[in-house]
Chains A and B, each alone.
Chain A
Amino acid sequence: KAGVTQTPRYLIKTRGQQVTLSCSPISGHRSVSWYQQTPGQGLQFLFEYFSETQRNKGNFPGRFSGRQFSNSRSEMNVSTLELGDSALYLCASSFAGSGKQYFGPGTRLTVT
Chain B
Amino acid sequence: AQTVTQSQPEMSVQEAETVTLSCTYDTSESDYYLFWYKQPPSRQMILVIRQEAYKQQNATENRFSVNFQKAAKSFSLKISDSQLGDAAMYFCASFSGGSNYKLTFGKGTLLTVNP
Contacts and interface: CB of A to CB of B under 8 A. Distances in A.
Interface of A: 31, 33, 35, 42-43, 45, 48, 50, 55-56, 58, 88, 90, 92, 97-103, 105-106
Which of B33, B100, B107 has the most chain A CB atoms closer than 10 A to its own CB?
B100
Given A56-B101, A99-B93, A42 B47 contact: no
A103 B101 CA distance: 15
Interface SS of A by simple majority: strand
B75 interface: no
Interface in B67-98: 91, 93-95
B101 A100 contact: no
Contacts, number: 56
Which of A45, A101, A102 has the most chain B CB atoms closer than 10 A to its own CB?
A101
Nearest to A101: B103
Contact of A101 (B47, B100, B106): B47
Given A43-B91, A99-B95, A100-B47, A50 B101 contact: yes
Nearest to A94: B101
What is the size category of the interface that chain B forms with chain A? 20 to 34
A27 to B, nearest CB: 18
Interface of B: 33, 35, 37, 42-47, 50, 91, 93-95, 99-108
20 contacts: A33-B103, A35-B103, A35-B105, A42-B106, A42-B107, A42-B108, A45-B102, A48-B102, A55-B99, A88-B43, A99-B93, A99-B103, A100-B33, A100-B47, A101-B47, A102-B47, A103-B46, A105-B43, A105-B44, A106-B43
A48 B44 CA distance: 19
Nearest to B102: A45
B14 to A, nearest CB: 28
A27 B63 CA distance: 29
Contacts of A103: 37, 44-46
A102 B33 CA distance: 15
B5 to A, nearest CB: 12
